[in-house]
Amino acid sequence: MRKIQLHSGVRGFLRGTGVLLTTLLGIMYGSWSVAQTSDGVRESGGLEEIVVTARKRVESAQDVPVSLTAFSGEMVDRYDLTSLEKLSSSTPEFNVGRASNGSGAQITLRGIGSQPTSIGLEQSTAIVVDGVYYGNGHVINEAFFDLERVELLKGPQALFFGKNATAGVVNITTAGPSDTWDGMVRAGYEVNADQPSGEAMITGPLSDTVSFRLAGRYSKMNGDLFNNVADPIDLVTTDLASPTFAQTTRPQLPSDGPFPGTEDLVLRGTLKWEATEQLTLTFKAGYNEVEDRSNAYNYVPIACANPDGTSQTNPLVSCSKGFNIRQPGHPAGFENGGVPGTRADGQPFNDYKSRTFTGIIDYDHDDFSFSSVTNYNKHRNKWGLGFNVESAIAFTTSTENTSYWAFSNENRIESKFDGPINIMVGTYYQDSKREYFQNGNFAPFTDSSTSAQFQNLAYTKFSETDGETVAVFGQVTWDVLDDLELAVGARYTRETKDSFLNHPYIIGAFQGLFLQLDPNNPATNLVADQSFNNMSPEATIRYKWSDNFMIYGAFKTAYKSGGFSGSAFIINGAPASNVAFDPEKARGFEAGFKSTLLDNQLRFNVNAYRYKFDSLQVDFFDSITFQFITTNAGSARTTGVETSFEYAPNNVPGLNLFGALNYNKARYINFIAPCYGGQSIQAGCDTTLLGGFGQDLGGSPTAVAPKVTAAFGGNYERPFMDKFTMEIGANARYSGSYLGSSFGHPLSGNGDYISVDASARLLTNDGHWEFAIIGRNLSNNFHINGVLDAPSTGTGTGTATALASDQLGYAANPRTVKLQVTWRY
């Protein structure tokens, strides 16, 4: 049956891409009134060179021995790829799931990623902006605009990008200053979410040696992307301090949205000083503020285990895959400080603020080049949530305040000798700190005997992690022959993380389950002082058969930091290993070729790889006990083949077609994992493993790991009515089916799907005006990028009569259509 579904999906993808191709050809040979030439259209076809910095130096993408996907700033504009989520929706094998708590995101590449429920887990795909590493999942809230390019580098990238790049790297380069005056003003309106937006940019010289760039963006969402279908609930709470266990009925109304109701402000300034012909100093400063009117707005109850498909916590709710959510506000009496950190109106929210400062030194000598990147960045994320996503009588209401800051410095020097051997050496230092605080109540109990700040709480949690990383790295490049290059390098990393976790308050009813610690006695903290050492070697061989054909092979390794799950609950009698976890490591091989054919009209690239991941980091949420367990899978392996092409025919100026077809098999080699909530003996929960609640996942797929992914698209420009240039573009992305769960939950499945993005632009030939319409997910396809077991669901784990937990999916956004007008100076 699965084989039939896969073939059906591929046929659907081919039909969809056929429609795109027919549309492009129809426009190309249509009967529109056009001029033969235009300043806005290339008069000859052929491919344009793609420049990347995958090895921390500027090179052609066709010369780099790395599997990558690159987006120019123009393509980012064309499809509005201004966030990690939007980027993932246009890129095969790359998935980003937004989460309400923990690290804030599940970023998966080639089936390798970590769940978002632990704030201590860093991502397996490193996010790098202007040479600076951002390791926390909250980076999903950053808005990426006014960009020069975006590069998605696949596979381990430790040598050039450091720790936490076991799956790959998203390498983002923001636009720099110009030595001539330029400016832009843009107004946009997204129809589905009723979201107006505005952007502006100005750049130019301040003197013969100093130039600047200022850019900003603002938008506010007034409508809904998701529909809140929650019902009002009369919540009955019990006062545990009352001799009669007095009860209070508290209305819990649906949140009034909008969903997500995002309001964002982004500012960036860049100053560049060309002090001498060889020395350039650049300073960048950025500010990002994002406020969502709702939290967990994309948590959709996708599947329920009850035979009739209804929620286990509310028989009036049916689970289904669609853009319908069930989000309440806080119960009456819990808002406005009833639970500290809530808003006066009782509505859920998420507020993210960040600031970053980066200084870059580039020195280009005849015999060597030197670069230094120094950065300070800080972000704070706060949220409040009436976590009742199935409109259940049992509820969770909580608030959280997390802050993170990091200072880093990287220095690199690279020789430029005329001889066959050149050397690159570098150092890296990072000092970081994360503070985490959460209040919550996950059962209908209160305690009037405590102080006012605790009466409506079941718990408070506080944790802190101080981290320090020191690394040295280097590479020797040997031109064995004129066309044969051998490069060998390694990165050594030493890292320390000093962490503690405390439960200052636990309500009496749960003191037998959760450990209450004395907030005034640090000796009662759960403490982990961790240190890690790693050597990640790498060897690459590259043979340029000609200027248009390159063959390469590589052995690569990578390292992802171990750590401490500072957002966990401390369970009485639970081992410390439930909170601390070991590093994740990757090693393996890849090989491929890159070719430019047909007189620079066709690029065709193929890459094959096989990587093993030891101690893959996974996080498990026990929906029954609310226990968070961060652990390490024994090992996993990814094996695959990737192909891509780009075609720009000489005889059809302005036409560009591109596509990709990938096969990836991501499987656990060995993993004795916790049973998912409500897993029965018949479903594989083994009473002889992990104290009676374990399962053997050896041979099972990792999370969000489709075997087949593909993409096909194209852009076409042509003159229109003498004074204009018209451009259309479309991109279809296909994904095979996969499980959203890292623990084999059968209800977490996502079928194969096709998502289509498209755009149309009309430009004046003088370059001043542009009118555009940009559509994303025009097929309005529903799919998830991860799952969570629904709280308080799943019964009888490890028995023959178990009922599996319901599944909440991290849903991707529905269809959006944006109208946009741009004026350029």
d(CA 387, CA 10): 38
Q: What is the pLDDT of residue 14?
A: 44
For 557, the enclosing helix (H) or strand (E) is strand 549-560
d(CA 347, CA 330): 6
DSSP collapsed to 3 states, 39-101 = CCCCCCCCCCCCEECCCCCCEEHHHCCCCEEEEEHHHHHHHCCCCHHHHHCCCCCEEEEECCC
- Residue 573, pLDDT > 80, answer no
Q: What is the pLDDT of residue 337?
A: 83
Mean pLDDT, range 44-57, rounded to an integer: 86
239-289 pLDDT, tens per residue? 999 999 999 998 888 888 899 999 999 999 999 999 999 999 999 999 999
Characterize 666-681 residue by residue with b for buried, 16 or more Cβ atoms within 10 angstroms of its Cβ, and e for exposed. Answer: bbbbebbbbbbbbbbb
d(CA 721, CA 308): 60
d(CA 663, CA 658): 18
Nearby residues of 746 by Cβ (< 8 Å), 6 or more positions away:
683, 739, 804
DSSP state of 318: B
- Residue 591, pLDDT > 90, answer yes
Judged by DSSP in three states, 269 sits in: strand
Beta bridge partners of 361: 281, 372
Q: What is the pLDDT of residue 770?
A: 97
Q: What is the pLDDT of residue 9?
A: 44
171-195 pLDDT, tens per residue? 999 999 999 999 999 999 999 999 9
Q: What is the pLDDT of residue 156?
A: 97
Which residue matches tokens 């490069």?
487
- Residue 32, pLDDT > 90, answer no
Mean pLDDT, range 571-575, rounded to an integer: 68
φ, ψ for residue 524 (rounded to 5)?
-90, -5
769-803 pLDDT, tens per residue? 999 999 999 999 999 999 988 888 899 999 999 99
Q: What is the pLDDT of residue 673?
A: 92
CB atoms within 10 A of CB 409: 15
Percent of residues, the chain, with pLDDT higher than 90: 68
Mean pLDDT, range 687-691, rounded to an integer: 88
- 239, 455 Cβ separation under 8 angstroms: no
- Residue 745, pLDDT > 90, answer yes
Please tell me which residue, 745 or 50, carries the higher pLDDT value: 745
d(CA 663, CA 667): 13
Judged by DSSP in three states, 25 sits in: helix
Domain range list for the chain: 2-824
Q: What is the pLDDT of residue 654?
A: 93
CB atoms within 10 A of CB 599: 11
Mean pLDDT, range 616-645, rounded to an integer: 85
d(CA 198, CA 187): 5
413-422 pLDDT, tens per residue? 999 999 999 9
Q: Give residue 196's region: left, alpha or beta (phi > 0; psi -120 to 50).
A: beta
- Out of 29-33, 217-221, 455-459, 802-806, least confident range: 29-33
Percent of residues, the chain, with pLDDT higher than 70: 91
Residue 35 pLDDT grade (very low, low, confident, very high; cuts 50, 70, 90): very low
Q: What is the pLDDT of residue 494?
A: 97
The superfamily CATH assigns to domain 2-824 is TonB-dependent receptor, beta-barrel domain (2.40.170.20)
Q: What is the pLDDT of residue 622?
A: 74
Q: What is the pLDDT of residue 388?
A: 64
d(CA 818, CA 730): 15
Cα 26 to chain centroid distance, Å, stands at 37
Please tell me which residue, 391 or 270, carries the higher pLDDT value: 270
Q: What is the pLDDT of residue 519?
A: 67
Average pLDDT of the residues of the chain = 89
Mean pLDDT, range 597-619, rounded to an integer: 95
Characterize 787-819 residue by residue with b for buried, 16 or more Cβ atoms within 10 angstroms of its Cβ, and e for exposed. Answer: bbbbbbbbbbbbeeebbbbbbbbbbbbbbbbbe
- Residue 43, pLDDT > 70, answer no
Mean pLDDT, range 596-617, rounded to an integer: 96
- 320, 438 Cβ separation under 8 angstroms: no
Q: What is the pLDDT of residue 23?
A: 39
d(CA 44, CA 785): 41
d(CA 773, CA 191): 11
Judged by DSSP in three states, 725 sits in: strand
- 564, 10 Cβ separation under 8 angstroms: no
Mean pLDDT, range 208-231, rounded to an integer: 95
- Residue 117, pLDDT > 90, answer no
- 65, 552 Cβ separation under 8 angstroms: yes
- Residue 572, pLDDT > 90, answer no
500-533 pLDDT, tens per residue? 888 888 888 777 777 777 767 776 778 889 999 9
327-356 pLDDT, tens per residue? 888 888 888 888 889 998 889 999 999 999
CA R_g for the chain = 27
The CB-side HSE value for 18 (13 A sphere, CA atoms) comes to 6
- Residue 149, pLDDT > 90, answer yes
Q: What is the pLDDT of residue 453?
A: 86
Nearby residues of 321 by Cβ (< 8 Å), 6 or more positions away:
300, 302, 303, 782, 784, 809
